[in-house]
Amino acid sequence: MAAGRGRSRRVSLPGVAELLRPAAPGPDDGDLRRASGREKHTQKITVYLSAEELLDLERARLALLRYGAAADRGRIVREAIAVLLADLDARGRDSLLARRIVTVNKAANNETEASADDATSGTAQEVG
């Protein structure tokens, strides 16, 4: 097929893990949120991961497979989102997600302030 014809060579077929994954939802932990599971998903987002994050996700998929819980990466991400959002709903600022994001934001703000202080002190030394 010639380049530029607008057709993708990529064929979208389910993987072995997707075909062998149980259709029934997992155990009920009392969470109000549930991952969507096996259904057609009409909404899409693009998430860029570092090589390390992608490797961690693949390791999680393989670990789940060893535990008898086959799941593709998309399913793992949807489950993780459901769990984190349920925790956020239940615990608010004490949730794992809120605490981690607050911690990262504080660290980023401290780095920004330190960089601004370094830039200001460098300018003051040049002037004086």
Which residue type sits at 38? R
Q: Is residue 21 part of a domain?
A: no
Task: Give CA torsion, residues 114, 119, 122, 124, to 10 deg.
Answer: -100
Q: Which domain holds residue 81?
A: 42-127
Q: Is residue 58 part of a domain?
A: yes
Q: Say how far apart CA 96 and CA 85 lie, in whole Å.
A: 10
Q: Is residue 93 part of a domain?
A: yes
Residue 60, pLDDT score: 96
pLDDT tens, residue by residue, 75-127: 999 999 999 999 999 999 999 999 999 999 999 888 888 887 777 776 555 55
More confident residue, 67 or 22: 67
In this structure, are residues 39 and 46 in contact, taking their beta carbons and an 8 Å threshold? Answer: no
Residue 105, pLDDT score: 94
Q: Is residue 13 part of a domain?
A: no
- Secondary element (H or E) of residue 94: none
> Phi, psi at residue 64, to the nearest 5°?
-60, -40
Q: Say how far apart CA 74 and CA 18 lie, in whole Å.
A: 10
Q: Is residue 34 part of a domain?
A: no
The total domain count for the chain is: 1
Q: Is residue 18 part of a domain?
A: no
pTM assigned to the model: 0.59
pLDDT tens, residue by residue, 64-87: 999 999 999 999 999 999 999 999
Q: Is residue 4 part of a domain?
A: no
What would the mean pLDDT of 27-35 be, rounded to a whole number? 58
Q: Is residue 122 part of a domain?
A: yes
